[in-house]
Amino acid sequence: MEIKKLSMAVAGAAFIALLTEGTAPVQAALLDFSFTTESGATGSFTLETDTPPSGEPGIFGPGITGISYPNAVSNFSVSAPYINLSNVTTDFNVVPSITSDFIGFPANLGVLSGVSYPPGCITAPGFTCLFDVAVLYSGNLSELPVLSDNPLSYSRGAGIRFYNPTTQERLLTDDITNFQVVRKQPVPESGSSLSLLAFGIASVGLLLKRNSDRTGKAKQALIHSS
């Protein structure tokens, strides 16, 4: 009877743990970007799509504003003849008013977005970026400022653009020739449920062994006494 009660308690606890883990809220996806350019530059970064927007508008030119997502980009690395960065954190941005055809791409591909460097360079009081990595964003604009976590919403890369941070003059453009976006695989959580289940099974096994030993000793005592 004692073994049955313990078995039922272990099974119940393990079931609750598994149910809790299975119904935990799903976090917004992290997206991994990688690209190469016409000049042979390579780069990569991770975008955290649930980053809240800045309270200040992003400023991209006279009368042109957008949305800035501070520190939404991590592991930003670029290797090029003109710049080398390794695993830095910086900002992401979306400019809903600048459409793909405005910057020389076919219409209906999305709006301008991308990585801006250094952090804070596109928020007020003005544009002071050294360079950016331009990406076309084709997510649902009516849902902004919430970023899409679908890799397909980041339809293609445009290019790396360097600026004079004082005059805002564009000094260089390096077109992106290969561009990939994938959903970052989540790190597996610790197997707490499996550990609990294993502990329960071990406990039941230990109790069974003890009861078996007690039964064996009782039988031997009975034999000797007879």
The total domain count for the chain is 2
Tell me, what's the pLDDT at 40? 95
pLDDT digits (tens, 9 = 90+) for 21-47: 444 444 558 999 999 999 999 999 999
Give the tokens for residue 49. Answer: 């799509």
- Whether 52 and 125 share a structural domain: yes
Query: How many DSSP H helices and E strands does the chain contain?
Result: 2, 9
Average pLDDT across the chain, whole number: 80
Alpha-carbon gap, residue 199 to 83, rounded angstroms: 54
- Whether 166 and 197 share a structural domain: no
Q: What is the pTM of this model?
A: 0.71
* Average pLDDT rounded to a whole number, residues 75-103: 96
Least confident of 3-17, 106-120, 212-226: 3-17
- Whether 55 and 151 share a structural domain: yes
- Whether 138 and 67 share a structural domain: yes
- Whether 64 and 132 share a structural domain: yes
* Average pLDDT rounded to a whole number, residues 194-198: 46
Q: Give the burial class of 215: count Cβ atoms within 10 A of its Cβ; 0-12 exposed, 13-18 middle, 19 or more buried.
A: exposed
Q: Within 10 Å of residue 113's Cβ, how many Cβ atoms?
A: 28
Please give the residue range of the domain that contains residue 71. Answer: 30-183
pLDDT digits (tens, 9 = 90+) for 144-164: 999 999 999 998 999 999 998
Q: Does the N-terminal peptide bond of residue 125 adopt cis geometry, omega within 30 degrees of 0?
A: yes
- Whether 73 and 133 share a structural domain: yes
Tell me, what's the pLDDT at 161? 94
- Whether 18 and 122 share a structural domain: no
